[in-house]
Amino acid sequence: TVVVDTFQTGVNVPKTLFGVFFEEINHAGVGGLDPELVSNRGFEAGGQYTPSSIEPWRPIGSEPDLWLETQKASVFEGNPIALKFEARGAGDENGQLKQALGFSNPGYWGMNIEAGEEYNVTMWLKSEGSLNLTVAFLSQNGQWVLGEGHIVEFAENAATWQQRHVTIRASSTDHKGQLAITTRQPSTIWFDQISAKPVKTFKGHGMRVDLAEKLLSMKPGFIRFPGGCYVEGVRLLNAFRWRQSVGRWENRPGHLNDVWGYWSDDGLGLFEYLQLAEDIDAAPVWVFNNGLSHTSELDTKTIGPFIKDVLDGIEFARGPADSEWGSLRAEMGHPEPFDLEYMAIGNEDCGKRHYEGNYLRFYQAIKARYPFMKLISNCDATNMPLVNPADLFDYHIYTSAAALFALSNKFDGYDRSGPKVFASEYAVVGQDAGTGSLLAAVSEAGFMVGLERNSDVIEMASYAPLFVNTHDRTWNPDAIVFNSWQSYGTPSYWVQTMFNSSGGSLLIPALVQGVQGATANTLVASATKRVDVNQERYIVKAVNFGGPMNVQIQLSGLSEDALGPEVTVTTLTGGSIWDENSFSEPEKVVPVKSRVPLAGNDLLVWLPPMSVNLFEFPLA
């Protein structure tokens, strides 16, 4: 029996309780949420020296007719490398070369080009003579034109660096297409910052629509970004730096994401993260580097410039539009301050030699200027009291299904006067997880019931990681899986959506009684009351991490006619604990809704084995 004590008015569940953690890992952003189709758009991926790598650009044609070379010739200070292109040869009587020469880009494992959709292609270029370029999306094998446009200029208009645009409407589809820029005219042209993006983006703010919509339907209370280890870097010089990630995209130097092994052109910068947070109505949680990487540490005595950097970053996010950094934000299209109220001082750095020292310097400097800012420590306060002051502390757990489910009571005994908990990374990993199994999802739901039950001290929690591009499964498992054109949620993703009404409701005591024998310790339950909807309702969550069982849900303390005549039941389960979703069966394991009649205040139900169940009891 699950007894819900409706005599209690309940305590507020923080609006932020369940959120998301976005990390630039598994090509989550580059080649994912950021819909930039071109890989290495500034020819900078090899670093800012020449010769620089032009990978994955490929020549169309060959020497001696074609010459491609990187040079320090860019118009952009932050991005010095440009591509010099020469189409050599005399041309026929019309001045045409016998073969089109140029170069192409396959994007990130192929570009998704869909018939009827429009794509903005932009590039910077200058030329020694007139220009006659064909800009085309081609099929993967290069044999079919999916859509094309042209850039034609007289020599006098092309002699200095200018940005050119073409909007291409595709007439055919290939999910693994490529971009090709060619000419039949003997030419010497410098190219830089070549970008191709779908015209349609999430809320017009430049995110891939299907992926951002999946975030939206999680109704996250917050979004933690941009990492994770991504924030630290293996080497400090490769860590994400906000200053290099803002302003016009063409001038962002980009950096090597050396933890997860790929180049980021920083199209997703601090502005874009804050804008995304606003667009999905989630509180932004910015994790910043506190002078520590995986292999090096800045001594506390020398941390001053890093502190200044972060204070400037806060001004960028929330300073007035006429402040030094706030004005850049305004120029980028957001004069109003962003609502940044949470910041994490580093990621998984606790125990490193200079962590506590650096932490305190950041803490004091930020609090002095922004006393309301909630600051998050990396040190685990469930082990021992923290050395330094903190509003929240960060708790990470990746473990087996049984171990995570058992941690449902992890915070029951946590000191209520200590800093609040931010369980910012949790997931079942290893064999139990497959590439996103039902088993893992049910275990995580059990853990989340524990988080909800302790939401007087738990302010925030997020599953990790959020996204994986199926071509770069560096970290497994992940909540949302995608390729160039498709995406689906794992069962863990769907569990997240089942908890999305929790934040902002009232936590009502719920007691599990009389579970015995083989079923002991396999059922956990929690109850909340939603008062933020037209029709108020009690929501009971029951997670069954074992065999089938009959459960009576008792809403004690209500008058006989207090509840409506029907309960909505949402269940996530499957034929096997190893069931997973996939591109071919994206909805094999998803929550299924049904309605059952209710007479009185007790509901007798059968819980399927390994299931997550949500019961909504509307008030009459």
Catalog residues that contact ligand AHR under the rule CB under 6 A.
Answer: 23, 25, 227-229, 347-348, 396, 425, 464-465, 475
Is the CB of 480 or the CB of 510 nearer to ligand AHR? 480
Q: How many CB atoms lie within 10 A of CB 513?
A: 9
Which residue lies nearer to ligand AHR by CB, 54 or 344? 344
Supply 266's token pair: 């920083």
Q: Cβ of 423: how many Cβ atoms within 10 Å?
A: 27
Q: Which is nearer to ligand AHR, 410 or 530 (CB)?
A: 410
Q: How far is the CB of 414 from ligand AHR (least distance, A)?
A: 21
CA atoms within 13 A on the CB side of 32: 28
Region for 467 from its dihedrals, namely left if φ exceeds 0, alpha if ψ lies in -120 to 50, beta otherwise: beta
- Cβ proximity to ligand AHR, 297 vs 349, nearer residue: 349
Give the C-alpha separation, 32 to 475, whole Å. 15
Task: For the CB of residue 403, give the shortest distance to ligand AHR in the complex, in Å.
Answer: 17
Beta carbon of residue 215, minimum distance to ligand AHR (angstroms, whole number): 16
Residue type (1 letter), 459: E
Question: 294 or 334, CB closer to ligand AHR?
Answer: 294
Q: Could you give phi then psi for residue 83, rounded to 5 degrees? A: -105, 125
- Rounded to a whole number of angstroms, the minimum distance from the CB of residue 177 to ligand AHR is 31
Give least dist CB 470 to ligand AHR, A: 17
Minimum Å gap between C-beta 29 and ligand AHR is 13
Residue 559 burial (10 A CB sphere; 0-12, 13-18, 19+): exposed
Question: Is the Cβ of residue 119 or residue 263 nearer to ligand AHR in the bound state?
Answer: 263
Q: Which residue is associated with the tokens 């998984």?
A: 348
Sign (positive or negative) of CA dihedral 362, 364, 365, 370: positive
Q: What is the DSSP letter of 297?
A: B
> Smallest gap, in angstroms, from Cβ of residue 56 to ligand AHR?
25
Q: Taking the complex as a whole, how short is the minimal distance between the CB of residue 398 and ligand AHR, in angstroms?
A: 7
Shortest spacing between CB 275 and ligand AHR, in angstroms: 23
Least distance (Å) between residue 443 CB and ligand AHR: 17
The CB-nearest residue to ligand AHR is 228
For residue 324, the minimal CB distance to ligand AHR (Å) is: 32
The smaller minimum CB distance to ligand AHR, of residues 25 and 292, is found at 25
Residue 434: other Cβ atoms inside 10 A? 19
How far is Cα 233 from Cα 220, in angstroms, rounded to an integer? Answer: 27
Q: How many residues does the chain have?
A: 620
Least separation in angstroms between CB 425 and ligand AHR: 5
* C-alpha–C-alpha distance, residues 242 and 257, integer Å: 14
How many Cβ atoms from other residues are within 10 Å of residue 77's Cβ? 8
* C-alpha span between 358 and 363 (Å, rounded): 9
- Are 429 and 391 a contacting pair, CB within 8 Å? no
Q: Measuring CA to CA, which residue among 317, 341, 389 is closest to residue 16?
A: 341
Q: Which is nearer to ligand AHR, 226 or 267 (CB)?
A: 226
Task: Give 239 or 614: the residue with its C-beta nearer to ligand AHR.
Answer: 239
Q: What is the rounded distance in angstroms from the CA atom of residue 375 to the CA atom of residue 307? A: 14
- Paired strand residues for 171: none
Q: Which of 308, 520, 517 is nearest to 405 (CA)?
A: 520
Q: Are 272 and 278 spatial neighbours (Cβ–Cβ below 8 Å)?
A: no
Of the pair 124, 475, the CB lying nearest ligand AHR is at 475
The two tokens of residue 321 are: 């539009």
Residue that is written with structure tokens 């310790």 in the block: 521
**Residue 200 C-beta-side C-alpha neighbours within 13 Å:** 12
Q: Is 285 left (phi over 0), alpha (psi -120 to 50) or beta?
A: beta
Q: Which CB, 86 or 232, lies closer to ligand AHR?
A: 232
Tell me how far, at minimum, the Cβ of 335 lies from ligand AHR, in Å: 33
Element housing 261 (H / E): none
**Cis amide linkage into residue 419, ω under 30° from 0:** no
Q: Which is nearer to ligand AHR, 196 or 464 (CB)?
A: 464
